[in-house]
Amino acid sequence: MGNFTKIMELLKKEREKQNISLQDLSSRLKIPVFVLKKLEEDEKYVEENYPYSLFMLKSIAKELNISDFNIEDSKENQRENSKQQQPKPKEEKANKKLENNAYKTLKERFLSIFRIIYLMALVISFFALSYSFKKEPEEIVSNYNFSSNNIYKESQNKYLSSPIVLVANNDIWISADIDGKKEVIALKKGQSKVISFKKNIHFETIGNANNLTIIYNGKKVSFSKKIIHNIFVDAEGIFKDGYNLFKGKNG
């Protein structure tokens, strides 16, 4: 993954130079403030969340109009800095040729191994994801035992669905559309959030989704992937790729 320190410092310096606050950047990119702060200051966080952190760093660079942002340049600079003293001028040309040949061979081998691992990971992820989405939710603990009966407003004859609860087992962030209103949700480990809605909820992106439990109508569902997109919630249930995750479960 390489050393991201220089990239993080460059993005922070450029953001401050353009007089853009973390709050402003969060509103533009739909990334929570605490995540942006970690991307600027916590290299361990960036490495642990790779490659998703790299995707967010590139998004920040694009928003700040940094056209020459290139992670490969950073990696190359790191390799150059770690090299030992350069050989003598007479030996430099021959050594450089040998080094280039060795690098090309190593690169080709690495790419071949990477392709195999990547294809295996895709296959495993596909089956794991299919199992996760088709697995029927377990009964939820009594702490969030909401009634599965429909709720109606007394003052209006409009349908109102049961509330939905988000429980964070670790830090998570969500960009959502709740009854047509955009919202960014950030939860720390152990926190929960109750959301009431009239029509539907569209969870556009969920970061660290494998640390999230969604509770709805006395049932719960969790996910195996770290980043997921397009989860829909309405009166009939929770949907992913057109599949009702609560299908076949009694209300």
Nearest to 140 by CA among 192, 199, 177: 192
Q: What whole-number distance in Å separates Cα of residue 85 and Cα of residue 33?
A: 43
Q: Does the pLDDT of residue 173 top 70, yes or no?
A: yes
What is the pLDDT at residue 176? 94
Q: Does the pLDDT of residue 126 top 60, yes or no?
A: yes
Mean pLDDT of the chain: 77
CA dist list (Å): 66 to 29, 35, 96, 171: 15, 20, 32, 29
Kindly report the backbone phi and psi dihedral angles of residue 241, in degrees, each rounded to the nearest multiple of 5, phi listed first.
55, 35
CATH top class, domain 5-81: mainly alpha
CB 1 within 8 A of CB 48: no
DSSP label of 140: P
pLDDT tens digit sequence for 55-104: 888 889 888 888 765 655 444 444 455 454 455 555 666 667 677 777 77
Four-residue CA torsion sign, 153, 154, 155, 156 = positive
CA end-to-end distance (rounded Å), the chain: 47
Domain ranges for the chain, please list them.
Answer: 5-81, 87-134, 142-244
How remote is the C-alpha of 157 from its chain's centroid? 39
Q: What whole-number distance in Å separates Cα of residue 235 and Cα of residue 198?
A: 9
pLDDT category of residue 175 using cuts at 50, 70 and 90: very high
Both structure tokens of 174:
């969500």
CA atoms within 13 A on the CB side of 156: 4
Kindly report the backbone phi and psi dihedral angles of residue 33, in degrees, each rounded to the nearest multiple of 5, phi listed first.
-60, -40
CB 30 within 8 A of CB 186: no
pLDDT tens digit sequence for 41-62: 888 888 888 888 888 888 898 8
What's the whole-number mean pLDDT along residues 223-231?
A: 92
Please report the DSSP string for 84-119 in residue order. -PPPPHHHHHHHHHHHHHHHHHHHHHHHHHHHHHHH
